[in-house]
Amino acid sequence: MSAPARPESLALLERLVAALKAKGLVSEEELAARQASTDRASPEIGARMVARAWLDPDWRRLMLRNGAAAAEQMGVSMAGAPPLGILEDTPSLHHLVVCTLCSCYPRAVLGYPPHWYKSFEYRARAVRDPRGVMAEWGTVLPPGTQVRVVDSTADYRWMVLPLRPAGTEGWTEDQLTAIVTRDALVGVALPQVPVAIAAE
Amino acid sequence: MSEAAFQPGARVQVRNDWPERRGPCHIRTPHYLRGRDGTVQRVLGSFANPEDLAFARPAPPRPLYHVLFDQPPIWHEGAAGDSLLVEIFEHWLEPAASPVQEAA
């Protein structure tokens, strides 16, 4: 059995990298460093930022004023990354993030976007019927909560700072981080207190 | 950074322009907002114009705004009070004809 054909895209990538190196625009070390930081990025970073904001008012203020500076303090390299904006939910206002034009996503603090975020269905429906889309995640907002859909169309990337759920009083940063899911940071879901804990 | 022409609270209208009908282009202004009235919520800074960047043309920085729109008038459905918040470049905005907010 012969080896599978080498994809043409790989050869193209190699030629591009060689051309960029020849022009002195990138080095092997920079590529490796970027690859490593891309691989490290995961929703846990965003979740920890939120947990810290629930515990520390100074951190919360920093994060709302300059999301990228807050991410840097978490050890994330924001060099070359778009500015990060944080959308603060309140009891009367819930944010939902979508990119109707493509799939802009705060990768530096959430990692790769999930497949549904890039789907035509999510992109078309979130902006038109956000409550219907959220209901399919089982997310029904308390009466009196307005929905604000943030269409990420240009140079910022947006992450939601959800409300801290009741029943988490006295929790540590690690405990709080664990209930902030990727979906809650996009706004399709709300942080949930596990039933077993809530029943205690 | 270029000077921003609109301040937070300014009523603006998204230009009802369709460059995609005139030829190849790259636009960051969603079609559903063309011709719609909104309110400037915040000046986000100035950024190289993606419409030029996409074609490797010189791309001077242009002010970018976060503009808030009532959601129900756009789709003729939805819940009163729901809204859309979208990044729009200054060259897509003009002062709104009507200074008062559309009824939701």
In a domain, B101, yes or no: no
pLDDT of residue A180: 98
Chain A nearest CA to B56, separation (Å): 16
CA angle A25, A104, B71 (to 5 degrees): 150
**Domain count of chain B?**
1
The interface pTM score, or ipTM, of the predicted complex is: 0.93
Residues of A in contact with B29 (CB under 8 A): 153
Find the CATH number of the domain harbouring B81.
Answer: 2.30.30.50
Please check whether residue B84 touches A, CB under 8 A: yes
User: Is A149's CB within 8 Å of B71's CB?
Assistant: yes
| Distance (Å) from the alpha carbon of B97 to chain A's nearest alpha carbon | 24
Expressed as residue numbers, the domain containing B43 is 11-95
Task: Report yes or no: A105 and A99 within 8 Å, Cβ to Cβ.
Answer: yes
Q: Read out DSSP for B14-40?
A: E----GGGTSS----S-GGGTT-EEEE
Instruction: Look at residue A123 and give its three-state secondary structure.
Output: helix
Per the CB < 8 Å rule, is B44 touching A131? Answer: no
Cα angle A163, A166, A167; round to 5: 135
- Chain A residue closest in CA terms to B47: A155
B29 CB near a chain A CB, below 8 Å? yes
φ, ψ of residue B4 to 5 degrees: the values are -80, 130
Pick A147's closest partner by Cβ from B28, B32, B82: B82
Q: Domain spans of chain A? A: 39-198
- Say if CB A185 and CB A159 are below 8 A apart: yes
Task: Calculate the CA B16 to chain-centre distance.
Answer: 10
Encoded amino acid at A138, one letter: G
Closest CA to A90 of A177, A44, A148, A135: A148
Per-residue pLDDT reduced to its tens digit, A62-80: 999 999 999 999 999 888 8
Q: What integer pLDDT is reported at residue A80 of this predicted model?
A: 84
Q: Which CATH number fits domain A39-198: 3.10.450.50, 3.40.47.10, 3.90.330.10, 3.40.50.970?
A: 3.90.330.10
pLDDT at B78 > cutoff 70: yes
Q: Give the integer Cα–Cα distance in Å for A104 and A88.
A: 19
Read off the pLDDT band of B103 (50, 70, 90). very low
Q: Is B39 a domain residue?
A: yes
| pLDDT digits 0-9 by tens, B51-61 | 999 999 999 99
- Tell me if B3 is assigned to some domain: no
Cβ-Cβ contacts under 8 Å for A36 (sequence gap 6 or more): none
How close does chain A come to B79, measured CA to CA in Å? 8
B93 touches chain A (CB under 8 A): no
Tens digit of pLDDT at every position of chain A (200 positions): 677 788 899 999 999 999 999 999 999 999 998 888 888 899 999 999 999 999 999 999 999 999 999 999 999 988 888 999 999 999 999 999 999 999 999 999 999 999 999 999 999 999 999 999 999 999 999 999 999 999 999 999 999 999 999 999 999 999 999 999 999 999 999 999 987 766 66
Going by the DSSP 8-state scheme, the letter that residue A156 receives in this structure is -
> Which run of H or of E encompasses A194?
none
The DSSP result for A72-108, as a single string, is HHTT---TTSPPEEEEE-BTTEEEEEE-SSS----HH
Q: Extract long-range pairs of B25-28: CB within 8 Å, 24+ residues apart.
A: B25/B51, B26/B50, B26/B51, B26/B53, B26/B54, B26/B55, B27/B51, B28/A101, B28/A153, B28/A154, B28/B87, B28/B89
| Whether B82 and A146 lie within 8 Å, measured CB to CB | yes
Q: Which residues of A are catalytic?
A: 99, 102-104
pLDDT tens, position by position, B8-40: 999 999 999 999 999 999 999 999 999 999 999
Quote the CA–CA distance of A168 and A190 in Å, as a whole number.
Answer: 14
Q: Contacts of residue A85 in chain B, CB cutoff 8 Å? A: 44
Ranges of H-type helices in chain A = 8-22, 28-40, 43-55, 57-65, 67-73, 107-110, 115-118, 120-126, 130-136, 173-179, 182-186, 195-198
- Residue B21 belongs to a domain: yes
pTM value?
Answer: 0.90
| Closest-CA distance of chain B to residue A168, Å | 29
How many other CB atoms sit within 10 Å of the CB of residue A148?
20
Size of interface A-B (CB pairs under 8 A): 70
Task: Using CA coordinates, name the residue in chain B closest to A100.
Answer: B30
